[in-house]
Every structure is written in C-alpha cells, then in structure tokens.
Structure 1
Amino acid sequence: MTRPEVTGARRVVVKVGSSSLTTAAGGIDPERLQALVDAVATAKKAGVEVVLVSSGAIAAGLAPLGLRKRPKALAAQQAAASVGQGLLVAQYTAALAAHGITAGQVLLTVDDVTRRSHYRNAHQTFTKLLELGVLPVVNENDTVATQEIRFGDNDRLAALVAHLVHADLLVLLSDVDGLYDGNPADEGTSLISDVRGDADLDGVAIGSTGSAGVGTGGMVTKVEAARIATGAGIPVVLTSAPQAALALSGERVGTLFHATGRRRPTRLLWLRHATDAKGAVHLDAGAVRAVLGRRASLLAAGVTGATGGFHAGDPIDLVGPDGAVVGRGIVNFDAKEIPKLAGRSSAELADALGMEYGREVVHRDDLVLV
C-alpha cells in the first residue's frame, strides 16, 4: 500500500546531502548521482514538478584542490565551493539532459530566505522555471557566504524552499534509510515509520554528522527541517538516497513525518525559522499577557527597554520580565529610539513626537510566538 501523501503530491522538493553524492575521497560519485537523477526524472515524467536541493559543492571541490577532508577555514571552504559547484552542476545538467530535462541552477544566500523582497524575487524565479518545465537545482551560494557557510546543511534551506515554491511534499535523502529509535548500528533498534508529532520523538536519540566527514549536518538538522515543513502543512519523507525512486513512487520506505500545521504566511515562517535576532525589546507583564493571550501587537506602553543595536525592519526577540523569549517580530523603530518610547501610550507619543511614533513597536502581523 502506497502513501497517499506522496502519490498525491504534484510539486516535490528533494534534498540530497553531500555524503550521498560523493566518494570517500571527496569527489562526485557518478553512479550515485545518476541513480538520483534517474529517480527524479521518473517522477517528473509522471507529471510531478521537482525541485532538487543538492549539497555537494564543497565536497566535490576537495579532490581537485588536493584537500583530503573538508577544511575548517571559511576561505578554503569558499574556494572548494567555487571549484566544486561547477563540477556538480555540469554532471546534473548532463545526466538530466539524457532524460530530455533542462536543469536550471539556483544559488541562494541566507538573505534570499530571510529578506522579504529577496524571498519574493526567489519565488518568482522558481515559478517561471517550473512553468517552463525546468528542473531547478538549488544550493546555498557558498562561494560568497560571509557568515557561517552552511544553512543547516541545506536541510533547513530545503524546508524553506518547499514552503517558498508551495510544495506538496519534501523528501530528505541521506546515508541513513530513515529515523531510528536509537543508533542504527546497534542491535535491537527499529526504524520509525511514521512521526505524527513531537510526542513520537520522545526518548529518541538523534545523532549528528556521520563518519564520512564531507557533510555538516546529521539527523538533528533533518528532524529540524521536518518540523519546519510539517508545521507549515508539508509532509516529509526521510530516507536514504538509494531508496529515492521508491520514496518518490509512494512506497512505504523511510520515515514519514505527517503534516502538523497549516500553510502560513511566508514572512512568519522565515521569521520563526530563518532569522537571527538583532537584539531584544523587553516587555512588562501586561504586554506579555496581551501578546501571548490576545495575540495583540506590541505597543510602546508595554515596553520597558531594549538591548542590541538593531534598526527598524530588523528581526528582534520579545523578552518578558523573567528573561524568557516569548516571541520574535519585525521592529518598527531603531534601538536608540526605544528609551524615549518605553512606557508611553500611543496617543501621548503621537502628540509629543508625531504620528509616526504612535504606531506599534511590533505589529501582530509581523510577530510569531515562540
């Protein structure tokens, strides 16, 4: 019996990790890549729109540069990505062309999934590529990354891309054939076939990076990606790359994470999962009750102070009197403006400083609870 969540999906995002594509020496394994391409090509020919999020650029660049393992220095990672990205996409392009499918490279930065204007442009690009029958091959733009080079080993990026393109399903491919209730190498552990919520993960030991040394993620990032996607109404299949064809055909392989939420506005998804707070606004007890209980906007009257050097339009944490973070939102004022606003009513501020100072510190439409 097949999985209806898979067989009914018309648009699917498939994510594959470095360890599933490369040899132990770090180069691209042509047979592994070909098997993956054959699987996604079969799905596409069956009428499914596919977006492929592929790691492997840095790993593919190791051998040509004479590097024995993934370097720790950012500049060396960027150099490897620069060499490896071309090799990776060239092989995808050739393998897909043999199936009569055109590949389109899409390199994303963190800004593309955290800034609203970038997010909108990325959505339009994906929409046009899929409309034209192109299979987008997505990776983080490692070569120009200026901060931590990975974005959750592309797992979290894949979950956000799934939401961005309005996917019906996310398939995460790894070197493990699913989520186990312990170390898969230990006797007596079992594959978890279905996860319907966090309660199903209670007591499950979730491991980190594998022994191959070419990736940066592990089961932790995959479970986090599954939470992001399922919380936005997108089911997730987690399995190994050799089982990609079976997974995409709906066979009951790997672990199915069932959708737990519903699709939400894009800005709220990236605000919760794809932003780092630039500072914090501190709330009194009444403001915490209003934000949490009534889902109200944060007004200056309930603000007691601010920390950090944020600017208007930045994501900031909302912190209660006990120091606990209660939400994250897009702030309407600079940090240096908060002291003169704190504790004052909107009407008072509008009269004293002008109408623009009477608006919300954080509007409820730009606020998520944590």
Structure 2
Amino acid sequence: MREAVTSARRIVVKIGSSSLTTAAGGLDTARVDALADVLGALASDGREVVLVSSGAIAAGLAPLSIPRRPRDLATQQAAASVGQGLLIGRYAASFARHGLTVGQVLLTVDDVTRRAHYRNAYRTLRKLLDMRVVPIVNENDTVATEEIRFGDNDRLAALVAALVHADLLVLLSDVDALYTGDPARPDTRKVAEVRSEQDLAGITLGRPGKAGVGTGGMVTKVEAARIATGFGIPVVLTAAPLAAPALTGDEVGTLFHPVRQRPTARLFWLAHATSPRGRLHLDPGAVQAVVARRKSLLPAGITAVDGAFTAGDPVDLVDASGAPVARGLVNYDAVELPSLLGRSTGELAAALGPAYEREVVHRDDLVLL
C-alpha cells in the first residue's frame, strides 16, 4: 500500500473530458456516477476532496449539434456556457446519492495571481471544505481568453492542489500509467514510480493530444506532476476506471514523489500560472538586491521597460543579458515607468508626491525564477 495515499487527508482529483463523455460528446452518466461513488466514499470517511473536472465544452457539443470540439474560442465559450450547467447538474445528482452537496468554482488565471482575488479563491474553497461540500473546479471557459487561460486542466489541478495545500493529487485519464513510450509497442515498459527528473530520462512523451474532446496528453500530465511535486505534493497518475484502487493505496498507475518542501502558495501560483505581460530590465545592483538579498525592486535599479502592462500585472525581471531572474506583480502602469527610471523613491516622492514612494515590485509579490 502507498502510504502517501492512505495518509492523505485533503485530496485533489482531476478527471479529463474523455473519461466523462461519450464519443458523441455528451456526458456519460454511468462514468460520472462511478467517479462520484469513489469520491463520495472518501468524503464519507472524513477526507476532504476537491474535484477538478474537465468536460464543460464536451458536454455542450451534443445539445448544440456540434460534431467535434470547435477550434475557435467563441464557439468553445458558447459550448462551455451550455455544458457547464449540464456538468454541474449531473455531479450534483450523482453526489446527492451519497448525501453530499457540491459547489461550483470557476477560475481564470487572474483569480489566483492578483493578491485580493487569490485570497478570495482560497477562502471560498476553504469554506466549502469546512462545510463538507465537494468543490467542483473548472476553468471559466465561458469568459477565459488566451491571455488568462491555464491552457489545460492538468496544470489547473496542480495549481489548485497548491492553493488548498493538498496532501495528494490524483490525475485520472484514459491511460493507466506513465510508460517509456507508446504503450502499444512491445518494448515499452510501465514506470511505477518517479523520484526525480533522472527517472524521466529517455521517456518519449509525445505532444499534447488534440484529438477527441480533450486538450491534454501525457506531456501536460507530467508537467502537472512536476508542478505539484515541486510544491511538496505526491501525485498518482492512472486511468479513471482505476480510481478506486488508486485512492485506497493500491500500487496502480505511476506515483510521482515530492521533490521539495512547500514554498509560499501564492508565489508558487505566480511562478507557474502566469504569463508575463512585460519585462523590466535591471542593472547589476538591482539583480543582486532582488536575487541575493530578496529586496523589493525600486525605480532606481531599472534601466528599461518592455510591454504594455497595467498595475497588478505579472512582469518578468531580467538581467543585463535579458535572462529572467524573477517574476512579480508590478505596482505601476507601463506608461508611468519610463519617467521614473534611475530615480530614488525619496526623490520621486519629493517631486511627484507620496504615492510615488512605493516599490515597483514589492518583495511579497515577487518570486525568483
């Protein structure tokens, strides 16, 4: 038995679209019920469960008479709008058979990188768990644009696991484990455990899958495992039909062992969930202050500004060679910064007022890369 599984009290489970829907794109009631049976048993045993579920877009295809997953964002958003209600309704009915209530939580990247939004997301999930509700998390596909998308729900699940300080992440898909190559080939072997990057050497992951109703693939699942284990969370990767034995500690699928102690959750989100909207070029003194001394970034240490960002956006801090050394949430709009560069905060406060005495990036909003 896997102790990392049997000892976990707070568990995040992710399931993909292909494991919930029929070939025609509608929800498969039997599959949803089977998953609810497994997770309902965990919740009834006193363990906290968060479900990250794909399937909103896929569930909306059949009612809209769309034969396959649309490529354009607007049609995806329309399908998600129809499918999200169907998906959460089906989950509500399935978990109700176990006397459990579910709560829908829809997220975009902005919801968990900006400080106030992050606190709101955490408080909502924490309160739902305290009230013995099963949170059903999904990306908010109806409003998410390319700039604020997570990209796939494997990554979202890893970041949600970090957000709620989970003890375990379980990734359920249509593949029963990680293999060294194509599982159909006779020379391919199953990888039972991954303890470090060395265990992944020589493994052919291929490209993220684009067929069917899902968007992920083994690449996204391994990357999600890297994110979660980097936060100190063990990960089990297996097929949806093996959810019950996987969650009771049987040695099914692939177990990814955690590789480090847990960093600050919000900064972990900042490093892994965001895309920079611009770049701030630092002089050597500022690089030393930010990286070695963990100081805030002041205007005096910035030599140039790239991008069109607004206050609160994530930006990369780069050294003289252009290499990113940190990422942070900027306190100024891009158009404000050029006139401030190279000047001390005291000088700026005297010339422009006390509002300009603030840091460009505060150390509490900064993560080293």
Q: Give the TM-score normalised by the residue count of structure 2.
A: 0.93
Whole-angstrom CA distance in 2 between matches of 1:273 and 1:290: 23
Deviation at 1:358, TM superposition (A): 4.2
- Structure 1 residue aligned with 2:192: 193
Tell me which amino acid in the other structure corresponds to 1:253: V
Matches within 5 A, 1:206-285: 206-210=205-209, 212-285=211-284
Tell me which amino acid in the other structure corresponds to 1:215: G
Moved more, 328-337 or 33-42: 328-337
Deviation at 1:6, TM superposition (A): 0.8
Whole-angstrom CA distance in 1 between matches of 2:157 and 2:259: 18
Tell me which amino acid in the other structure corresponds to 1:318: L
- Structure 2 residue aligned with 1:325: 324
Whole-angstrom CA distance in 2 between matches of 1:329 and 1:211: 32
Moved more, 48-57 or 354-363: 354-363
Give CA-to-partner distance per residue, 1:217-262, whole Å, 9 cap, x none: 1122212222222111211111111111111101111111111222
Query: Gaps (5+ residues) in structure 2?
Result: none
Q: Could you tell me whether the CA contact under 8 Å between 1:18 and 1:215 is conserved in 2?
A: yes
Whole-angstrom CA distance in 1 between matches of 2:149 and 2:108: 10
- Structure 1 residue aligned with 2:342: 343
Say whether residues 1:82 and 2:51 are aligned partners.
no
- Structure 2 residue aligned with 1:93: 92
Give CA-to-partner distance per residue, 1:29-68, whole Å, 9 cap, x none: 2222222111111222222111111100111111222111
Give CA-to-partner distance per residue, 1:120-173, whole Å, 9 cap, x none: 122222222212211111212212224368523211111121122221111111
Q: Could you tell me whether the CA contact under 8 Å between 1:209 and 1:215 is conserved in 2?
A: no
Q: Could you tell me whether the CA contact under 8 Å between 1:208 and 1:217 is conserved in 2?
A: no
Distance 1:236 1:352, change over 3 A: same
Whole-angstrom CA distance in 2 between matches of 1:11 and 1:333: 38
Q: Give the TM-score normalised by the residue count of structure 1.
A: 0.93
Distance 1:123 1:280, change over 3 A: same
- Percent identity over the alignment is 67
Distance 1:17 1:148, change over 3 A: farther
Q: Could you tell me whether the CA contact under 8 Å between 2:108 and 2:140 is conserved in 1?
A: yes
Query: Gaps (5+ residues) in structure 1?
Result: none
Deviation at 1:92, TM superposition (A): 1.3
Deviation at 1:210, TM superposition (A): 3.9
Q: Could you tell me whether the CA contact under 8 Å between 1:16 and 1:55 is conserved in 2?
A: yes
Q: Secondary structure at the match of 2:191?
A: coil
Distance 1:284 1:131, change over 3 A: same
- Structure 2 residue aligned with 1:173: 172
